[in-house]
Structure 1
Amino acid sequence: MASDRTRPDLDDTTVEGLGKLSEALETIEQARGQLYAFHQHSGKADLLLQEAVELFRKAGHTELADDLDRDLVGRNVIADRWTFQIVEDYDADYWSTFRAFDERARGELSDGDRHVYEARMKQRERTAGHPRHEAGPALSD
């Protein structure tokens, strides 16, 4: 990692490109979190559904309970897949590839430094010498 995180040796367009790639990766991380939430919510709903089936059965609504149990409990959420399989496919085929390209771009263009765009933004926007506006690690005053 460079001693000056603003990387004055890099041109503005490269830094802007690294910033956009970083922002895209952060958005992918949020999407991945939502996918995991979808996975957990779908699983919880299936368990609640199973409880409803048992309550209907206990109350004597056998036909409805049997139909729900047969046609909905444990059903694939999309063709041939439960949610854990969707998450695994996303991680293996998209998320991991995205992260690898982010790492490659940083390795090739900024010696692995992260958030160069943000470091430059901090230098532009802070008030030097003002309390709570300190440069911080690897940024100079």
Structure 2
Amino acid sequence: MTSDRTRPDLDDTTVEALGKLSEALETVDQARGFLYAFHQLTGKADRLLQESVELFEQAGAGVLAADLDRDLVGRNVIADRWTFQIVEDFDENYWSSFRAYDARARDELAGGDRHVYEARMKQRERTAGHPNHEAGPALAD
């Protein structure tokens, strides 16, 4: 990693490509968050469903309770899978590969530096010498 996060030694196209890859990974990270939210919400729904089954039994709707219990409680959300299996598959087969390629690109092209595109943007857009527009660590004033 260099002391100048703007990496003046790199051409603009390389920096833009690294920025787009980083942005793509950040989007995948957001999708992963939604996937985990789906996992948690589906689990919560199943627990609520189980509570409703118990209440239907208490209310005398035993046939409905039995049908719900048999057909929905613990059901796979997609073929052969609960949500934890979807999350694990996503992490192992997509997210981890995406992260590895992002790291590879940074290592091969930018000495491992992260957010070079953003560092250049900050230098372009800030007002030098203005309060709250300081360069900050590894950026020159």
Give TM-score scaled by structure 2 length: 0.99
**2:47 maps to 1:38:** no
User: Match of 1:139, as an amino acid?
Assistant: L
User: What does 1:7-26 align with in structure 2 at a 5 Å threshold?
Assistant: 7-26=7-26
User: Match of 1:40, as an amino acid?
Assistant: Q
* 1:100 corresponds to: 100
By how many angstroms is 1:126 displaced?
0.4
User: Match of 2:19, as an amino acid?
Assistant: G
* 1:54 corresponds to: 54
* 2:130 corresponds to: 130
**Where does structure 2 lack aligned partners over 5 or more consecutive residues?**
none
Using the alignment, how far apart are the partners of 1:112 and 1:103 within structure 2?
A: 7
**Where does structure 1 lack aligned partners over 5 or more consecutive residues?**
none
Q: Deviations over 1:52-92 (max 9, x none)?
A: 00000011100000000000000000000000000000000
By how many angstroms is 1:39 displaced?
0.1
**2:68 maps to 1:68:** yes
* 2:81 corresponds to: 81
Using the alignment, how far apart are the partners of 2:51 and 2:94 within structure 1?
A: 35
Q: Deviations over 1:89-113 (max 9, x none)?
A: 0000000000000000000000000
Q: Deviations over 1:10-62 (max 9, x none)?
A: 00000000000000000000000000000000000000000000000011100
User: Match of 2:137, as an amino acid?
Assistant: P
- Percent identical: 82
Name the SS for the 1:135 alignment partner: coil
Using the alignment, how far apart are the partners of 2:12 and 2:123 within structure 1?
A: 14
Query: Runs of 4 or more off by more than 3 Å in structure 1?
Result: none
User: Match of 1:137, as an amino acid?
Assistant: P
User: Match of 1:113, as an amino acid?
Assistant: D
Give TM-score scaled by structure 1 length: 0.99
Cα RMSD, aligned residues only: 0.4
Using the alignment, how far apart are the partners of 1:139 and 1:62 within structure 2?
A: 69
